[in-house]
Amino acid sequence: MPHPTRKRASPRKARKKVTKHKRSVGRPSKYSATFPDKLIQHFRDRLTDAEGRTVPVLREIGVDLPTLGSFARTINVSPRTLTNWCNTYEEFKDAVDIANSIQADMLESLTLKGVWIPSMAMFSLKFRHGWVDKVSIEAVGNIHLHFDDVDKEA
């Protein structure tokens, strides 16, 4: 007689192993090898006309500052996707560094020409480009330290 608390082992049927085609997880990336060049061109287009000449900046019309967000909209992806591509594709990260340099130069130049509001430009340069206010503190005078040998017992 079988033990009352134990169940009998059911016979296992032999299953065929089904091998499926291995596929990657998630949606395929929209990344293209042309995006680094397109990104840099997106930032440079704001500075030059179709013939490559420097565009004069007029105070009345102003200039839209090129951003990574505006580039993301042109290729129909989110700015977060651009960040992911920077972590995945070295050539895209290099293009982003060049684009940020163009943006900082443009922001600084246009602010000095009076096109941008200085406080907004300073905020943007500090937040996006790592600029900092340098505060120098200089101490003048001498400091004398005197130690008394009060307790020599060890």
Asked whether residue 55 is assigned to any structural domain, the reply reads yes
Confidence at residue 115, expressed as pLDDT on a 0 to 100 scale: 77
Asked whether residue 39 is assigned to any structural domain, the reply reads yes
Asked whether residue 112 is assigned to any structural domain, the reply reads yes
Low-confidence ranges of the chain (pLDDT < 50): 17-21, 23, 57-60
Confidence at residue 59, expressed as pLDDT on a 0 to 100 scale: 43
Confidence at residue 111, expressed as pLDDT on a 0 to 100 scale: 85
Asked whether residue 56 is assigned to any structural domain, the reply reads yes
Question: What is the C-alpha to C-alpha distance for residues 55 and 32, in angstroms, rounded to an integer?
Answer: 29
- Asked if residue 76 lies in contact with residue 31, where contact means CB atoms within 8 angstroms, the answer is no
Beta strands in 66-147 (DSSP E): none
CA–CA distances in Å: residue 149 to residues 6, 24, 146, 152, 153: 82, 74, 10, 7, 10
Domain encompassing residue 41: 35-129
C-alpha torsion 19→25→30→33, nearest 10: -70
**Looking at the 3D structure of the chain, how many domains does it have?**
1
Burial, 17: exposed, middle or buried (Cβ in 10 Å; 0-12, 13-18, 19+)?
exposed
Asked whether residue 44 is assigned to any structural domain, the reply reads yes
Give, in degrees to the nearest 5, the angle at Cα 124 between 121 and 127. 150
Confidence at residue 49, expressed as pLDDT on a 0 to 100 scale: 56
Question: What is the C-alpha to C-alpha distance for residues 37 and 34, in angstroms, rounded to an integer?
Answer: 6
Asked whether residue 141 is assigned to any structural domain, the reply reads no
Asked whether residue 140 is assigned to any structural domain, the reply reads no
pTM of the model: 0.62
Confidence at residue 109, expressed as pLDDT on a 0 to 100 scale: 84
Instruction: Name residue 54's beta-bridge partners.
Output: 48
Asked whether residue 13 is assigned to any structural domain, the reply reads no
Confidence at residue 62, expressed as pLDDT on a 0 to 100 scale: 55
The DSSP code for 54 is: B
- Asked if residue 56 lies in contact with residue 50, where contact means CB atoms within 8 angstroms, the answer is no
